[in-house]
């Protein structure tokens, strides 16, 4: 999955429909896989691995900051090959400008949707903590 697809997926996760889909998937995985559901879920849905880990292990404000750090790192990693191939000052400047624009857009999106990200965290945490029967 490329960076643009991953960002679109994250955008979907914070919508009401996206949050509902995730809750249903988690409930189904808990039922089908028992105590190992998180491991199986992350294996089957690698895009959700980091989101699930953040919701399970951190409160909402900490998870939000870590999500921003993770996204910034993913963007940096995405541009790494281009940065290494840039062999002139102007080409390095161009790559740096594209990377900065991508980080600004992604982090601004998260900041402007912080309430929805916190809702996603709360709903995931509730589903994760819900006892299995």
- The per-residue pLDDT for range 46-76, each reduced to its tens digit, is 878 888 889 989 999 999 999 999 999 999 9
Measured between alpha carbons, how far is 93 from 98 in angstroms, rounded to an integer? 9
Count of domains in the chain? 1
Q: H-helix or E-strand containing 41?
A: helix 37-44
SS3 of 92, please? helix
Average pLDDT on 14-41 reads 87
Q: Which domain holds residue 40?
A: 3-129
Banded pLDDT at 36 (limits 50, 70, 90):
confident
pTM above 0.75?
Answer: yes
């Amino acid at each position: 999955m490329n960076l643009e697809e991953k960002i679109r997926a994250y955008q979907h996760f914070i919508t009401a429909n996206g949050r509902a889909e995730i809750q249903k998937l988690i409930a189904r995985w808990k039922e089908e896989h028992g105590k190992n559901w998180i491991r199986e879920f992350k294996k089957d849905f690698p895009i959700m691995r980091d989101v699930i880990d953040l919701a399970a292990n951190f409160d909402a404000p900490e998870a939000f900051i870590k999500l921003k750090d993770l996204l910034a790192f993913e963007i940096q990693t995405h541009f790494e090959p281009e940065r290494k191939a840039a062999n002139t000052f102007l080409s390095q400047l161009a790559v740096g400008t594209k990377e900065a624009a991508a980080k600004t857009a992604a982090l601004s999106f998260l900041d402007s949707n912080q309430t929805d990200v916190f809702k996603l965290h709360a709903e995931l945490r509730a589903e994760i903590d819900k006892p299995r029967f």
